[in-house]
Each structure stands twice: as C-alpha cells, then as structure tokens.
Amino acid sequence: MINSLFLISHSGDIFLEKHWKSVISRSVCDYFLEAKEKAGDPENVAPVLQTPHHYLISIYRGKLFFLSVTQTEVPPLFVIEFLHRVADTFQDYFGDCSEVVIKENTVTVYELLEEMLDNGFPLATESNVLKEMIRPPTILRSVVNTLTGGSNVGGTLPTGQLSNVPWRRAGVKYTNNEAYFDVIEEIDAILDKSGTTVFAEIQGVVEACVKLTGMPDLTLSFMNPRLLDDVSFHPCVRFKRWESERVLSFIPPDGNFRLMSYHVSSQNLVAIPVYVKQNISFLETGSCGRLDITIGPKQTMGKSVENLTVTIPMPKSVLSVNLTATQGTYTFDLTTKVVLWDVGKLNPQKLPNLRGSISIQTGSPKPEENPSINIGLQIQQLAISAGLKVSRLDMYGEKYKPFKGVKYVTKAGKFQVRT
C-alpha cells in the first residue's frame, strides 16, 4: 500500500522521510516539486501524480505537504484519508501540525508513524490506542523521564487494540465526570448580487468532550431527529439503534471526538442570518475603483451575530486599497491581495460599513469580475436549523451521576456573496 512518506515544507524542503518497505530515493519527490511549481497555488497541486515507477498521493495540511509513494493499485481515498488521519494525530499530540513542531518531535513522530502503519497497511489509527503506546510529550513528563530514565513508550498491548471498542481504553478514571456536547451548525450558502439565495444548506456536527470513568454507555436523543437528512457517525455509534429508534447509542471514546455530522434536510428553508449590501465597481477610465459594503442582520432569531468577518479576494491587478471601516479593523495582504475586515459583533442599530477606494496597477485593464465576498460569523446559543435539539442524555453501565452539558453554536460555513 503505502511505501514511503515524505513531509515537504511549503517551500519545497523535504524534512522528514519514512519508509515501510524498501527505501525509495527522495529524488522521487522531484516529480512532485515540479508539479507544485507548475501549479503555483499549493491548493492546485493534483493530489495524485503518476511517475514512471511510482504513484504519488499527497495532501496539503497546515502549509505542509504529506507525500506518500506507492507502487501498486490502492484506492486513492484510502491513502488520502490515512494521511489526514496522520495529520490529525500530530495535531492531537503536539497541538499543532507545522514544520517546526514536527522537527522538534522527530522521534515521537517516527515512533507514531511506525505504529500507525505496518508494511504500508494501517495498523493503529485510533488516538486512544496510540496514546497508550506512545505517550504524548508534555513538559512534566520529559522532565520526569530525564530524571528517572523512564520512557514514553508503553510496554503492554493497549487494551483497545483487542476489544470490540478499540476507541476506548480501559481503566479510565476521573474525579469529575463530565460529558459536553457542542452542536455546531454551519450555513453553506451562495447569494447572488441581488441578495437572493442561489444555494443554501445547513451542515452540522456534534462535537463531544466526554470525560467519564469506566465504561459508560451513553444514549443521546434529539427533539426532532426527522430534520436530519444525512448523517455520518463516529464508529462508536450503534447504527442499528439509530435506524430503528433515531437515538445515538454509544460507548464514547475518552476525550474529544466528533460524534456525528449531519445534513439538515433540504426541504426546510435556510434562514440567512445577515444580508450584505455591496457596491464594488472599477472605473472604466483611470486606475481606481470604489468599494462600499454594509452588513445588516436578516434572520438572526433574536440572537446577536458575533465574530463577523468579511474576506474579499481582490483581482491580482489591485495595488492597494484605502478604506475606512465604521466598526472593526481591516487589513489588506499585498501578496495574496485579500482584504480581511474583522467586524466583531454586529450592532443592528448602527450597521457596520466599509467604504473607500481601490487603486489598480496603471495600464492593466479593468477587472471584469467583481470579487466575491466571503462571510464568517458566529451566533451563540442557536442552532439555525430551527429545531434540532438534544432532548436528553442517559448513561448506563456506571453508577455515578455525570455532569452533562450541551451547547449550540451557529457559524457561517462556505458563505459566499457574489457581486
């Protein structure tokens, strides 16, 4: 399956390599670097490349390329999904997945990779299992280890590896037993120039943070699960129960995990929380343009809109912008030509406005398309799908009474206004 893995920095520096079968020379990366050069934007590098003797499958995460080399047929998604899992694991272990962090923890990274794949086939990818075998580095532990000569590597087979619930380790103990669930809904929308919705849908996830002692068996039920059109679950969820009773029944992993993600059925109309009044124009003559954006609340259901951000990727010919914001601050990135306006909290009484002029390189023609506007926002204590609500959480199998909490957040997902 996966022969080798190379980690390549944004600038093209190969800083880590790992081979599971015979060593493949790192010169194989040249094909990739060439493709990267050609594509310009790292997002545009084809995830699958063919070279005379190898196939290169890569992902781009956190300014890093994870490049895997394979010689034979393998489902590309298999590799891509695995590489993302590797990146997730690094994130989980080191709190970040960047070149610096990986270089700092080379040995742990190597040990992890060694456990995650055997002969190129995934072996242990559950973070709970991995954490039992290789303990994540903490300052305290490294100090203790240098003093006592202890190690970060477990000596016995993790219990999860053998049980029917590989995601949970045995013997979990907490003094405070808590279970938190965050219902996060994201609005994906495309609005056209006039503000009419071209396309809108709601995607949600239930993120959980469960710190419970022992082997609790939880049952989570919703007020009206009929709203859910399409769901995908963490492997711990018993699918049959969901099919028959529409409740989530599961033995939770320890710690943070994504319990489920869902799509709200498309029959329901999507409430669009804000409207954008915009006027971006480039003058036919002369090298300047005008920008005027106002944002106001639309269907917020009485909640306040927070963390409002507006991102506008400008045409490449734009030299600089000279804008004034009535609220919040804006920045213009000269290399990427992106205007980022951080508005903050939306005040319905005094609508935030950004206006000013744009100057364009002299001599370049007027840009044809007006840039699209990407909105980011957050509404606390609201699930925008209007009605999805956790009705209850029951625990079986353990005696104690846990503290339970549910939080609702609505965010803008891929929320774009065309101009």
Find the binding residues for another protein in span 157-186 (CB under 8 A): 157, 161-164, 166
Burial environment of residue 231 by CB neighbours within 10 A (0 to 12, 13 to 18, 19 or more)? middle
Interface with another protein includes 121 (CB under 8 A)? yes
Q: How far is the CB of 17 from another protein (least distance, A)?
A: 5
Site for another protein in 313-342 (CB under 8 A): 313, 315-316
Whichever of 25 and 324 has its CB closer to another protein, that residue is 25
Determine the size of the site formed for another protein (CB under 8 A): 135
Q: How far is the CB of 91 from another protein (least distance, A)?
A: 13
Whichever of 175 and 243 has its CB closer to another protein, that residue is 243
- Map residues 2-41 to x or -, x wherever contact with another protein holds by CB under 8 A: ------------xxxxxx-xxx--x--------------x
Pairwise CA distance, residues 33 & 97, whole Å: 21
Question: In 3-state terms, what secondary structure has residue 262?
Answer: strand
* Piece in contact with another protein (CB under 8 A), picked from 52-60, 89-97, 325-333, 341-349: 52-60
Whichever of 232 and 357 has its CB closer to another protein, that residue is 232
Interface with another protein includes 256 (CB under 8 A)? no
Whichever of 123 and 326 has its CB closer to another protein, that residue is 123
Decide if 63 contacts 45 (C-beta within 8 A). no
- Map residues 216-245 to x or -, x wherever contact with another protein holds by CB under 8 A: -x-----xx----xxxxxxx--xxxx-xxx
Pairwise CA distance, residues 180 & 404, whole Å: 6
In this structure, what DSSP letter does residue 237 have? Answer: B
Query: Which residue(s) pair with 277 in the sheet?
Result: 294
> Count of alpha carbons within 13 Å of 45, Cβ hemisphere only?
27
* Piece in contact with another protein (CB under 8 A), picked from 92-100, 215-223, 289-297, 323-331: 215-223
Site for another protein in 124-143 (CB under 8 A): 125
Interface with another protein includes 345 (CB under 8 A)? no
Taking alpha carbons only, the member of 202, 221, 203 closest to residue 406 is 221
Query: Which of 323-361 are b and which e, b meaning 16 or more Cβ less than 10 Å from the residue's Cβ?
Result: bebebeebebeeeebebbbbbeebeeeeebbbeeebebe
**Rounded to an integer, what is the distance from CA 336 to the centroid of its chain?**
22
